[in-house]
Structure 1
Amino acid sequence: MTSYYEPIVYDVLPQDEGMLLKTVLQKRLGVSRKLMSRLKLTECGIHLNGKRVYISEKVKGGDRIELRMEKETSDDILPEFIPFDILFEDEHLLIVNKPAGLIVHPTHGHYTGTLANGVVHYWHEKGEQVRFRPVHRLDQDTSGVLCVAKNPYVHQHISEQMIQGTVDKYYIAMVHGHPSPSEGVIEGPIDRDPLEPHRRIVTPDGYPARTLYNMLERYVRGSMVQIKLESGRTHQIRVHMSSIGCPLIGDTFYGVDRLITAEFDLNQAIEVNDWMSRQALHASKLSFTHPITGERVTYIAPLPKDLAQLKQQLESEKEKEVE
């Protein structure tokens, strides 16, 4: 027997009277063409006042529209107990605090030991039938807030918010050196390095990328910086911060050894790198509009233990004044 997620419900407004059901679905509920085609093929997909109808039907004020999506599972992901922190969960969303070192989704050569394996196991234990749908990704060695949608409607809506730039993603990074000015915008197109395909570089022919930064604390041998992404290129923060001479502490791919010149002592920088076993980057805050409630929601992940310890070590040498 087919089972369904809780329906998405919309009560038709008086000003919607006379509209085609299809138009209401697109304009009021934001249903994409792809999802609408999927709902039309589902036996209980689109109902108007409790009855299945064609989307060419005209609606009246007070009519009730219900969208029902079939429950799915990630049968290709093996359930595996993997600890992770849950920041929030409802029937539509799962917000996790991803630990550093954990790959988000199985890839070639990494079929187990990922966050997806852990989440699928968690849902199995709860008896929930849900497919793993991350709305965005974090690098393996980046910790912090990550959003997982529990149905295609929610995934579509948050993805569209990301495209429209209405999702706010904030990071905390510990970097070498001191950004100058202490607050600013980095606009540098990013693309693959032709000599090292796995590496990204700032290049005039790259894809547009924009990063906002603000130095929160200044130390003798580094800075704590808050970063807001306004685009989502691969390795964007690491590439952009390195491009202004402030690579992330612990970053072996875009770190101090990649810089031809530096305003800080290279030997000291290498010593600070030894304090971290990964790049010092944490997704600290995520804000967006909840697709179902329409409320603006914000989720915050505290600094993990390794970054808190690094901060403490850097603070022990903290300069008295921030420029």
Structure 2
Amino acid sequence: MSEQISLQAEVPVELGGKRLDQILAQLFPDFSRSRIKTWILEDKVTVDGEVFNTPREKLLGGESVAIETVIEAQREYEAQDIELDIVYEDDDILVINKPMGLVVHPGAGNPDGTVLNALLHHHPEIINVPRAGIVHRLDKDTTGLMVVAKTIQAQTHLVKNLQARENFTREYEAVCNGTMTAGGMIEKPIGRHATKRTHMAVHEMGKPAITHYRVAEKFRAHTRLRLRLETGRTHQIRVHMAYLNHPLIGDQLYGGRPRPPRNATQGLTEQLREFKRQALHAIKLSIAHPITGEKMTWEAPVPEDMIKLVAALREDTKENPDLTL
């Protein structure tokens, strides 16, 4: 499958003097600047019937511009009948509640069996959208809400909002090691770890990363948190919490090994030992609908494993009210 794109417009006089790529980006906001630039370079753009292939060329205003091209479908991925927990769906987007253990996008070690493969089965036309409409990701063992674009137009607007940090809010529930006394903001850049290629780390040459957090509940030696992402770097919450010396329970990659407090109840000891993933859940997602602009919010219930973990932490704290370590 492929999608035929045919666009035409007259350049408003007030845009005269601007570059061709800037003008087209304003005239056709459903498509990204990088995609439009590629079309210009591939001779897909005409101005008054003449091919223009220089993105920086300036127009006077009043010209007739046209784009004629075909978006080829991505054929390297296979549609697979994998069940999706769909929270919401319309013609433009769908929102899913991702379970633990499901990878979002194929990659090294996970060539298939991913959210992307499931999306291709559920909505075959999504093959025409780059990355099958995926605009943000959750780690394999992080649960919770993700929004997916079903059209190029929807994807373009969602990505713009995400990059502008506008009309796109993601909140998480987490449980970390150690007792935190107050919330705050972590503003530390994140990039690839210097020696461990599967790890991310805080370092000066990384990309800007901002995480807001507040204390939701305190236990003897652990803390339940509510976090909000302002940026979306790989492993961002996990890296930032480890940087604060409060790694998430179960996060073996970033130091979240089991740390039972003194005289821990048997129930808590077992829960900590058996909790094999990072205690992180994308609990709330709020966006402006990419086509209608309507403000929309969804919440996903905390999964059973985290409910049991928090229950054990509460019981341990109740059983040992005078012990804080």
- So what's the TM-score if we normalise by structure 1? 0.75
Query: What is the alpha-carbon distance in structure 2 between the residues aligned to residue 75 and residue 119 of structure 1?
Result: 14
Shift of 1:17: 7.3
Shift of 1:296: 2.0
Query: What is the alpha-carbon distance in structure 2 between the residues aligned to residue 231 and residue 271 of structure 1?
Result: 35
Residue pair 2:119, 2:126 contacting (<8 A) in 1 also = no
Aligned length: 300
Residues 1:238 and 2:242 are matched in the alignment: no
Matched with 1:170 is 171
Shift of 1:153: 2.1
In structure 2, the CA distance between the partners of 1:217 and 1:38, relative to structure 1 (3 Å rule), is: same
Residues 263-316 of structure 1, C-alpha deviations (whole Å, 9 max, x = no match): 966999975532412111111122222221012222222212222222222232
Which runs of no fewer than 5 residues in structure 2 stay unpaired?
53-58
Shift of 1:214: 0.6
Query: What is the alpha-carbon distance in structure 2 between the residues aligned to residue 70 and residue 85 of structure 1?
Result: 32
Query: What is the alpha-carbon distance in structure 2 between the residues aligned to residue 69 and residue 267 of structure 1?
Result: 65
- So what's the TM-score if we normalise by structure 2? 0.74
Query: What is the alpha-carbon distance in structure 1 between the residues aligned to residue 161 and residue 263 of structure 2?
Result: 42
Secondary structure class of the residue paired with 2:117 = helix
Matched with 2:56 is none
Residues 61-104 of structure 1, C-alpha deviations (whole Å, 9 max, x = no match): xxxxxx99968644222121111211111111121111111111
Query: What is the alpha-carbon distance in structure 1 between the residues aligned to residue 264 and residue 292 of structure 2?
Result: 53
Query: What is the alpha-carbon distance in structure 2 between the residues aligned to residue 88 and residue 68 of structure 1?
Result: 34
Map of 1:15-54 to 2, 5 A cutoff? 26-27=25-26, 30=29, 31-36=31-36
Map of 1:87-236 to 2, 5 A cutoff? 87-124=87-124, 130-131=128-129, 132-166=132-166, 167-180=168-181, 182-236=182-236
Query: What is the alpha-carbon distance in structure 2 between the residues aligned to residue 263 and residue 277 of structure 1?
Result: 15
Matched with 1:282 is 281
In structure 2, the CA distance between the partners of 1:212 and 1:144, relative to structure 1 (3 Å rule), is: same
In structure 2, the CA distance between the partners of 1:312 and 1:32, relative to structure 1 (3 Å rule), is: same
In structure 2, the CA distance between the partners of 1:128 and 1:201, relative to structure 1 (3 Å rule), is: closer
In structure 2, the CA distance between the partners of 1:74 and 1:86, relative to structure 1 (3 Å rule), is: farther
Residue pair 2:126, 2:150 contacting (<8 A) in 1 also = no
Residue pair 1:286, 1:298 contacting (<8 A) in 2 also = yes
Residue pair 2:2, 2:72 contacting (<8 A) in 1 also = no
Matched with 1:49 is none
Residue pair 2:260, 2:272 contacting (<8 A) in 1 also = no
Residue pair 2:25, 2:32 contacting (<8 A) in 1 also = yes
Residue pair 1:210, 1:231 contacting (<8 A) in 2 also = yes
Residues 29-80 of structure 1, C-alpha deviations (whole Å, 9 max, x = no match): 6343344467889xxx99xxxxx9x998859xxxxxxx99968644222121
Secondary structure class of the residue paired with 1:79 = coil
In structure 2, the CA distance between the partners of 1:315 and 1:70, relative to structure 1 (3 Å rule), is: farther
Secondary structure class of the residue paired with 2:199 = strand
CA RMSD of aligned residues (A): 4.0
